[in-house]
Structure 1
Amino acid sequence: MYNFDFVKPGSVADAVAALAGEEAQPLSGGQTLIPSMKARLNAPGSLVSLTGIPELVGVCREGDTLVIGAATTHAQVARDAAGDFPGLAALAGQIGDPAVRNKGTIGGSLANNDPSACYPAAALGTGATIVTDRREIAADDYFQGMFTTALEEGEIITSVRLPIPQASAYAKFVQPASRFALTAAFVARYASGVRVAITGASENGVFRWAEAEAALSSDFSANALDGLAHSAHEMIADLHGTAAYRAHLVGVMTRRAVAAAGS
């Protein structure tokens, strides 16, 4: 490690002011940032902690929407969302291990936008709104590729607003060493139709599977996906699986999610 300043603001306004400093970087759960600093892949001059800001923590229901503070841990989401949004709670409960779930945050995960992370699938699969200190961003506009988002320099996620579906489920094929998704599908059914978001598979990060959405909006059953197959084009290929293997898993995990949501 190396020397850096550590700032722990008490409000979003204080955090924004601190991030205006030279080489300042926000710190939420630190599950990606701290390891990258240890490996000297990242060297901020100061870390601005967001975890001590009360307004960024908590899970509450507002009408048909679940609102989650950006600094809320995975463990708290798994616990506090269970009554209103069991599909999301189950997703949060599958992230990493107990240590990761008690430190990592939903805002940190969405800001990092790892191509194999779980929360991006939930956000995109529900048509969530990412709320920052400056504006509101629709999930369809927020995710812009691997590790790339619509966030601007110094912009802080303050909360996530997720429309609560009639039924939902997350099916995850776990990469056993990292606990990230080798491929996973989040399925959410609404009165207006079905959304399907895939994570872990594409070189472009999380994405919606439009063909599956159309089929499931007409018939919300695993059988509706018979004959559908996702292309292997631009799928991730590495030592854990080929592009064709991940493309196959897209269909498998979507069917499992639909079956779980309908049970």
Structure 2
Amino acid sequence: MNAAGSSTARTAHAQPRWDIRTFGRAEVLVDGAPANWASQGAQDLFFYLLSHPEGRSREEILEALWGLEADASSGNRFRVTLHRLRAALGDREAVGEAYGRYHLSPALFRASDVQALHAALHEADSAQDAAQRLRAYQRALSTYHGDYLPQLRSDWAQTAREEHQAAYVRACTELSLVYCEQRDCPAAVGALVRALKADPYIGEQYHQKLMTCLSVVESKYAAVEHYRRFIRFLRDHLADTPMAETAELAGRIKCGEQICARAPGPSAAQDSSCALRASRLN
């Protein structure tokens, strides 16, 4: 084979450059161009396998994607779809099979925002200092631009969506703690707001924390307004009321008490009628 032929062979077998986005939108680029799926089934199979990095059997795939049992007809459909998926990704090795389970190649996962999110969280968990944790959590947040595969309503997509959302929310709350340790109160508020916007059900303690931070960064009025919105949220979505300690915290903030120990300045003197007035928050 001459040099030109050798170069052509290497190019033909070169791994494509993938760019995979799943948060807020679904987009797969192959060498800078949108993937040509050829069928909806090929696209669905890709995102299904992306949602199950441990792999799935043919029977599990047939049931989850098409509600089919394994037989000659469904087996042929699977083979055609798998061929289309590999063609769309530009690499026969993009989808492998081991011990009866089909999975995407590690290179594909590395090209995805899903992998970037969880890799950043892993780095943060093993960080040796606050600066490294800060950078890792910031990188995790930069990958997340909305719900995972928002266009899909299947059960398997919803399960993966909740898993990735929980990872993102954890990154937000942990980042808020790092900012708090550094006394960067505005940044701590921003991270908490992102966490509660993504999942307002994560825990009442985070609403308490945001109230405290808002009383420092903005004003007691902003903190009390968040409390009132929280009351409405509990009533409208859970038919519930705040915990007594949350109501007490709102009362203390309304009276002007300095709640945050990290905030500058001495605690304000309390008016004797403050507790009575604060009770009206409920």
**Could you state the TM-score of these two structures normalised by the residue count of structure 1?**
0.34
The TM-score, its normalising length taken from structure 2, stands at 0.33
With CA pairs under 8 Å and 6+ residues apart, which has the higher RCO, 1 or 2?
1
Bigger proportion of residues as helix: 2
Larger Rg: 2
User: Which has more strand, going by share of residues?
Assistant: 1
